[in-house]
Amino acid sequence: MKAAVCRAFGRPLTIEDVDIAEPRVGEVKVRLTACAICHSDVILVDGGWGGDLPAVYGHEASGIVESIGPGVAGLKPGDPVVVTLIRSCGSCHYCNQSIETQCDGVFPLDQQSPLSDSSGQVVSQGLNSGAFAEQVVVEQSQVCVIPEDIPLDVASILACGVLTGFGAVVNTAQVKAGSTVAVIGCGGVGINSIQGAVHAGASQVIALDLLNDKLELAQQFGATHGVNSADKDCVEQVVALTGGRGVDYVFVTVGAKAAIEQSVNLLAKSGTAVIVGMPASGVMAQYDPGELAARGQSVLGSKMGSGSVKRDIPKLAALYQSGELKLDQMISGRYALEDINEAIASVKRGEALRNVVIF
């Protein structure tokens, strides 16, 4: 099959033939229709989180189930599905609390990639998926059936960008109606945090970004105000918009040190900063813990929106079908696999909410 293989950090991806194993017990093979490009893939391609090479990245995908291994339940060939990176055993300490993103389970796919090149060399399956490819073999918990009337290219962004941004608001922070919210970063994840805040009934949703066109776009998705993060008085602007208190919740959807450190300065007393975007390994942020304690503030981490694949993907799909969740408007461009370098470059330049590779 064709796959985009990264052989050196910081080097362009190449299109090569890659062999993929048949699904084993509890595994599913999916022929992909689309894979959206998440900024996490860009960090990986640039070596920001290390990892083994060669590798196939990509983790925000959709397609049709092609075959299933023994012991797979609730899936059959021909099912339209979303493919996520979340593997969950369903029985460990964390899964029993519905915290599937922290699952302790160990799976055969963790120990042996299903991918290899023409010489037999193992190719790493990036972010549990390796979805910059025509097919994937994944653990059954990573796959969720979706309604047939949802376009598969649109459905692909449910796998990460929507699940992560929306889930950070409704699952991790559990924002209450009437709260005030700021979202730092108006890319694909940030836009969905904005949509999540609107869904939760926030009274104000303040978008912050370095680009004015992103701020204008954010208001199309429900932001009530936009503030340019480059403004020297951006913190003062946010505080003024909230009657001098600051916001109840800040969602940092970019993995930038400056944005992470800025977040607590936007908070009201008893406010919560939620770290959603993941920086490269080794990036450190500084807070004054005494100030946090005195003001009763909290800092939360949110991995994949504290999402549950089987619980949240159907809910998000239903919100899309009802018209409450905007997904079509998030797709900035559609690219062939051969043009993936161009698609990734566009993401790195900050031009796209979501570029999608179409197979």
Element (H, E) at 262: helix 257-263
Which residues lie closer than 8 Å to 61 by C-beta, 6 or more apart?
Answer: 30, 32, 34, 35, 36, 82, 83, 129, 131, 136, 156, 159
In a domain, 119, yes or no: yes
In a domain, 241, yes or no: yes
Task: For 186-242, write each residue's pLDDT tens digit.
Answer: 999 999 999 999 999 999 999 999 999 999 999 999 999 999 999 999 999 999 999
In a domain, 339, yes or no: yes
- Give the separation between CA 206 and CA 235, rounded to whole angstroms: 11
Examine the pLDDT at 129 and tell me if it is beyond 90: yes
Examine the pLDDT at 61 and tell me if it is beyond 90: yes
Q: Is residue 108 left, alpha or beta, with left meaning phi > 0 and alpha meaning psi from -120 to 50?
A: alpha
In a domain, 193, yes or no: yes
Domain with 191, as residue range(s), is 165-303
Task: For 272-293, write each residue's pLDDT tens digit.
Answer: 999 999 988 899 999 899 999 9
**Number of domains making up the chain:** 2
Q: 122 and 192: one domain?
A: no
Q: 154 and 171: one domain?
A: no
In a domain, 315, yes or no: no
**Residue at token pair 């005195």:** 294
Task: For 299-340, write each residue's pLDDT tens digit.
Answer: 999 999 999 999 999 999 999 999 999 999 999 999 999 999
Domain of 103: which CATH number?
3.90.180.10
Could you give the angle at the alpha carbon of 69 between the alpha carbons of 64 and 75, nearest 5°?
45
Task: For 10-41, write each residue's pLDDT tens digit.
Answer: 888 999 999 999 999 999 999 999 999 999 99
What pLDDT score was predicted for residue 146?
98
Mean predicted lDDT score pLDDT of the chain: 96
What pLDDT score was predicted for residue 11?
85
Residues 91-101: b if buried by 16+ CB within 10 A, e if exposed: ebebbeeebbb
Q: 343 and 253: one domain?
A: no
What pLDDT score was predicted for residue 111?
94
Q: 265 and 343: one domain?
A: no
The mean pLDDT of 143-155, rounded to a whole number, is 98
Prediction pTM value = 0.96
The mean pLDDT of 172-189, rounded to a whole number, is 97
DSSP letters along 90-138, please? SSSTTGGGT-GGG-----HHHHS-SEEETT--EEEEGGGT--SBSEEEE
In a domain, 309, yes or no: no
pLDDT band at 350 (very low <50, low <70, confident <90, very high): confident
Domain of 271: which CATH number?
3.40.50.720
Asked if residues 196 and 209 have their Cβ atoms less than 8 Å apart, the reply is no
Which residues lie closer than 8 Å to 289 by C-beta, 6 or more apart?
Answer: none
What pLDDT score was predicted for residue 66?
98
